[in-house]
A and B are shown apart, each in its own frame.
Chain A
Amino acid sequence: MASNEKKILGVKEDTFRMMMGKYGIGIILIGMVIVISIIKPRFIQPSNLLNILTQISINGLIAYGMCLAITTGGIDLTVGAQLALVSCILGQLVGEMGMNIGLACLIGLLATTAFGLLNGILIAKFNMFPFVVTLSTQLIVRGIAQVISDGQAVSLANANFKAIYSDRFAGIPLPIIYLAVVVIIMYILMHWTKFGRYVYAVGGNVNAAIASGVNVVKTKTLCYTIVGLLSGMAGIIFTSKTGAAQSNIGVGYETDAIAACVLGGTSFAGGISTASGVLLGSIIIGCIYNGMNFLGIDSYYQSMAKGIIIICAVLLDMVMNRKNR
């Protein structure tokens, strides 16, 4: 029989497992940064680090929304189409009609939030499967985007509009500030409010939540509404970044958002996630893209590498957490 005094790297096996289970994702991130930095020292320079954070802002916002949906035990596949919708609305209102930018953004956000609400009502009130609901509304949303734009790309060269992405505040690019604000708000929402607790309860055990007086319909609906709002915000940033309104953007963006959630320890079974984990997950995805560009790896291989890293990360998490369960 095996003795239970087995040691790994000088610490007791159980302690090691627990540490890895809890901080494994952070360790992977640090390992990745070290390896890439050794090969290409320029990777670790502050300017590039800011660059990475700017790049992840869009996926980060979507991932936080996705995380809420997954934590309730669901998923939201509309996020990519929502990006396109907000982009086309901006294209028409700002590009064609010359509307005030702030007002146009507000209208865009209202539209995506309304579709989020619709998702929520269908899922929570009518008890439909989140996958099926959002797979369908995704088609509707993208269709609307195509109708609005008539399939044409609209150039948004307005300097004020482009400033949403490219301006800096105290030397920090604005997208990082948006992300930081969202991270803080989501952290508070998930871990410091009644709503957050209800989200975890609904995802953890919906029957126990009902029997504890949680309004499940309200909680779930609000979650999907927030996903709509956050993907709308991501859409505005994205449109400002590219300077063009298009109806074909955001395809596959749900994948990166889901990947960030999973890397960050969000459980697909529901009821488990952390705000900090989602941020780490998004940063890892950003480092994969940015690091591989640095190493000169072709984008086809980047996609493969992303898949492999996600599987490895989840596998590691499973192995490390097996004993703790």
Chain B
Amino acid sequence: MAENYILECSGISKTFGGTQALKEVELHIRPGEVHALLGENGAGKSTLMKCIIGLYKPDKGAMTWCQKPYQAHGPVDAINQGISMIHQELNPEPHLTIAESIFLKRESTRGFLLDKKAQNKRAEEVLKKFNFPYGPKTLMKDLTLAQVQMIEIIKAVSCDAKLIIMDEPTSSLDSEETRHLFQTINDLKSKGVAIIYISHRMEEIFEICDRVSVFRDGTYVSSRDMEGVTKDELISMMVGRNIENVFPKTDCKIGKPVFRVEHLCGKGFTDISFEVRQGEILGISGLVGSGRSETVRAIFGLDPIISGKMYLDGEEIKIKNPQDAIRRGICMVNEDRKEFGLCLQRSIRENISLPNLPKKQRGLLLRQKKERQECEDAAKTLTVKCASIEHTALSLSGGNQQKVVLAKWIMANPKVLILDEPTRGVDVGAKSDIHALMCKFAAKGMAVIMISSELPEVMGMSDRILIYHEGRLNGSIDRSEIITGNTTQEEILKREFGGK
């Protein structure tokens, strides 16, 4: 054997129904390396990971773990053998303490009884090793998402994991938390723990990873050392074509002001005033928790507004619930697609037409034929990749689900379209599709408000950027200043952290 791999997957195939999710893919992981897994959504990354942790059984192929044939019978078995996975969506048990959470299903016992004291002590030791700021008795619900994630990592390490799979670990972290995570990853690496790092964020992969394996449409493309490979090369490996411009912002005619808020206050934000015009893309940037999402949720009527005024087409409006907002032509794509965007068990068609049903009736009945036609057209315009719009939303990849959410609001033909993290967890191809669509909407005269945690995205797509800091606006930047290079990424970040 030429090289010493800790995990080897060779010739793995997996079919679901008629679709081949994996076609004889390869993956070789060395001990103590951070190995990036790159590919568009639906490229087969998650499927392969689920094969590794035993959620799926591969149809064909072999895996070895520490040079021995390997097959896990479910995640618990995988953990026992030394492979842990940190999922993108964390589901903490809110009422467990940190210690209970870390030692879930392997509690310290004395006879038949739980030995809470010993367990808390053990937990305290591991927490100390990671410099975790809270004690073992803190409840999980009091932690931030980043801290919950850290607990997951601590849990994995305390199970003696030799390999930790991290699926989009930074998708809900702000830059500070991301930095902290990277530090932890480097620590783990130095202890010989291998990490499979799945992310759509190129910058991170370049920063933290040693090697990368690229997947495309269920096939393995190749593996490379991160040294000497360029971003463009990786992107073209992933999509099989060159994406010329990552942010295809086209300039559209900016018309008259459509929507204005004045001195808006609510939970998590204070004294917010801004205005957005026809054809304008207004970017909102800020750290997670700085009040960006809270503001737009309140505007859309999901949360109450404490004080302040809103004007649409110069007329003052009151919005008490989403129905009011939608009726007036204000629509919002929520940051949490699964929780607020889709009824996953229902068909793509039903999801797209849900907010638009009042317009699809004749008398009391729905005009289903017309509805089907319109939904099919919408799905086509938004390039949703699906076999049929009668399939469930659940059967789609993340990027395509997001397009379905967009489709339902575009069909409502809004005056103001609010997009909260429109490309989170979405692959490169779908991402550029969504960006192109945003420009198309703006060109039609819609006013678009976009929130994003990715600075390059905000800078690339916005006509104007509002910067949030701790619930207040901390300046705005025009596109011209970005194009001329007068304002850089660093400066925006500085403002997000409260600087001037």
Contact = CB atoms under 8 A, between A and B. Distances in A.
A188 B321 CA distance: 29
Contact of B354 (A1, A188, A209, A325): A209
A14 interface: yes
A153 B79 CA distance: 65
B119 interface: no
Contacts of A209: 343, 354
User: Which of A4, A207, A211, A267 has the most chain B CB within a 10 Å cutoff?
Assistant: A211
A211 B357 CA distance: 14
Given A193-B365, A194-B358, A214-B354, A208 B345 contact: no
A18 interface: yes
A135 to B, nearest CB: 25
Interface in A226-281: 267, 271-272
A192 B368 contact: yes
Contacts of B340: 207-208, 210-211
A18 B16 CA distance: 12
B365 A188 contact: yes
A45 interface: no
Interface residues of B, number: 41
A136 interface: no
B326 interface: yes
A208, A215, A267 interface centre (most CB from chain B within 10 Å): A208
Interface stretch (B53-61, B166-174, B230-238): B53-61
Given A2-B59, A3-B59, A212-B355, A271 B366 contact: no
B302 interface: yes
A200 B343 contact: yes
B346 A1 contact: no
Interface string A195-224: 001101100110111111111000000000
A208 B18 contact: no
Contacts of B84: none
Contacts of A214: 323, 354-355
B357 A205 contact: no
B75 interface: no
If over half of B's interface residues share one DSSP class (helix, strand or loop), that class is named, otherwise mixed; here it is: mixed
B345 A271 contact: yes
A194 B359 CA distance: 10
Contact of B342 (A194, A208, A323, A324): A208
B58 A1 contact: yes
B302 A210 contact: yes
A272 B355 CA distance: 19
B60 A205 contact: no
A130 to B, nearest CB: 19
A212 B351 CA distance: 9
Contacts of B322: 210-213
B355 A271 contact: no
A321 to B, nearest CB: 11
Contacts of A325: 394
B59 A201 contact: no
B323 A215 contact: yes
Contacts of B366: 192-194, 197
A204 B16 CA distance: 24
B368 to A, nearest CB: 7
Contacts of B439: none
B290 interface: no
A14 B17 contact: yes
A212 B59 contact: no
A271 B302 contact: no
Contacts of A192: 365-366, 368
A200 B344 contact: no
Contacts of A211: 300, 302, 322, 332, 334, 340-341
Contacts of A18: 17
Contacts of B354: 197, 201, 208-209, 212, 214
B45 interface: no
B361 interface: yes
Interface in B77-96: none
B227 interface: no
Contacts of B350: 197, 200-201
A184 to B, nearest CB: 13
B250 interface: no
A201 B349 CA distance: 12
Interface string B396-424: 00000000000010000000000000000
B16 A323 contact: yes
Interface in B274-311: 300, 302
Q: Which of A214, A215, A272 is the most central at the interface, judged by chain B CB atoms within 10 Å of its CB? A: A214
A188 B394 CA distance: 26
Contacts of B357: 194, 197-198
Contacts of B353: 197
B15 interface: yes
Interface string B312-326: 000000000111011
B177 to A, nearest CB: 25
B361 A194 contact: yes
Nearest to B412: A213
A207 B342 CA distance: 9
Given A207-B340, A211-B300, A214-B323, 15 more contacts: A1-B59, A194-B358, A201-B346, A208-B341, A209-B343, A209-B354, A210-B321, A210-B322, A211-B332, A212-B355, A213-B321, A213-B322, A214-B354, A271-B345, A323-B16
16 contacts: A1-B58, A1-B59, A14-B17, A18-B17, A197-B354, A197-B366, A201-B350, A204-B344, A208-B343, A210-B340, A211-B322, A211-B332, A211-B341, A212-B322, A212-B326, A214-B323
3 interchain residue pairs of minimum CB distance: A204-B343, A213-B326, A212-B355
